[in-house]
Amino acid sequence: MNNEQVWKDSLEIIKVTVSPAIFSTWFSQTHLVSMEDLSEKAIVEVGCPTSFAKNTIESRYFGLIQDSLSKVMGKKCDLSFIVKSNPKSVNTVEEQNSPLFSVEKDENNTLETLQKARIRPSFTFENFAVSSSNQMAHAAAEAVSRDLGSAYNPLFIWGGVGVGKTHLMVSVGNYVLRKNSNKKVLFCTGEDFTNDIVEGIRNKTTQAFRNKYRKLDLLLIDDIQFIAGKDTIQEEFFHTFNAVTSVGGQIILTSDRPPSEISKLEERLRSRFEAGLIVDIAQPDFELRCAITQIKAREKGVDINSEQVQMIAANSESARKIEGILTRILTEIHIKNVVVTNELIGSMFSKSLETSGKVMRSTPDEVVDVVSKYFQVGKRILLGESRARPIARPRQILMYLLRTHLGIPLEEIGRVVGGRDHTTVMHAVEKISELATADVQIREDILKIKRMV
């Protein structure tokens, strides 16, 4: 059988498996570039008309094509895909009007539109994990995306670092532009807004600045607290706010704190922010961190099992740390050509446990008080001689925190915790370090105590 016949027969098998629209879009313009028929298997190279088609076919239909070729040839097939037009294609105009080219053209146009609006394509509602800590903010953002300027205007989202404020805000812009690319959308940070005003004043181009910001359907500003205390910037934002909202435009803002706690924010701005909907996003709980880990791992192409997902989630306080760990895993895979194991993930966290969280600026007595309060154990009992598990484990966590987060010498910790010797302290630190890598509850206890301190 020649190449053309093999591919024709394979496409016939594929045609009965997928819908006519999918076949017409992805397979009609493909062809078999080369085929090396070995004794036990065949090495096949498939040509695709565009890089977009190649990536889509390879990621979605690799198994289907491989099975179809194997049935036709009666042996196992190793596949590879390249971007190469079919030399036997006779009608270039017809080819360019095919559904495949239309799909790629639409996708490229959408990406260009998103880029102009400074919207990250990967920040969508579909890959935003939802739980009780961010459910309200997610629902509000979805409502705004469906009804700009009417649902909640402005929408003010606040929360700590790495909880997903920016992702959620940008998801609105992504949704709006994919639905209607003619909408005028712009994402910027509070610093960008400030720099644009300064640049406009310096170059006498303030009118261009106003044209850029005041004629938008959707204005997204990240870290709005940055403009507080800057009189000229707040003045300009006040007029921008009024200009956008007065014609039905939507404004979404994020901050690390609610409007009432942003010092040096003008009262007229504060009142406008509070006139809309203010929602907060709390730190993600364990279940949400597991969901975020799965989403990020899928995006990066890192294959990890459920136990490894839980290990990463248990040892990470935020989505950014999860992403950082997955990036490190991906680097290990590419550079060292290793397989992802529990030991590999555990080693990454064990190295960071000693240095993580050294931002605590507390006294040993304050840490003792917090641990005593958290576990509801009296200080005298906590620092006493009891070896019962409900007392011994909190005591070990106390010693671990004093060592790894305050950096106190072992002998000093022993003196603080009831006059124990340094070997006891060392054993406690090693024990909690080991447990914190795999035990979700221990990790949660440590994180909560750190926040209380």
**Is 296 labelled as part of a ligand binding site?**
no
Percent of the chain with pLDDT over 70: 91
Q: Show the CA angle centred on residue 442, arms to residues 437 and 448, nearest 5°.
A: 115
Residues 257, 175 share a domain: yes
Question: Which domain, by its residues, includes 327?
Answer: 286-337
Query: Does 357 appear as a known binding residue?
Result: no
Claim to verify: residue 269 and residue 291 sit in the same structural domain: no
Domain-located, residue 348: no
Q: What is the pLDDT of residues 191-215, one digit of tens each?
A: 999 999 999 989 988 899 999 999 9
164 is in an annotated binding site: yes
Q: Is residue 110 part of a domain?
A: no
CATH of the domain at 203: 3.40.50.300
165 annotated to bind ligand: yes
Q: Same structural domain for residues 268 and 175?
A: yes
Q: Are 363 and 413 in contact (CB under 8 A)?
A: no
| 76-120 tens-digit pLDDT | 888 899 888 777 654 444 444 444 444 455 566 778 889 899 998
Tens of pLDDT, residue by residue over 306-357, are 888 888 887 777 788 888 888 888 888 888 888 888 778 877 765 554 444 4
- Report the pLDDT value the prediction gives residue 90, as an integer from 0 to 100: 43
* 157 and 243 share one domain: yes
Task: State the Cα–Cα distance between residues 82 and 32, nearest whole angstrom.
Answer: 10
Average pLDDT of the residues in 403-424:
86
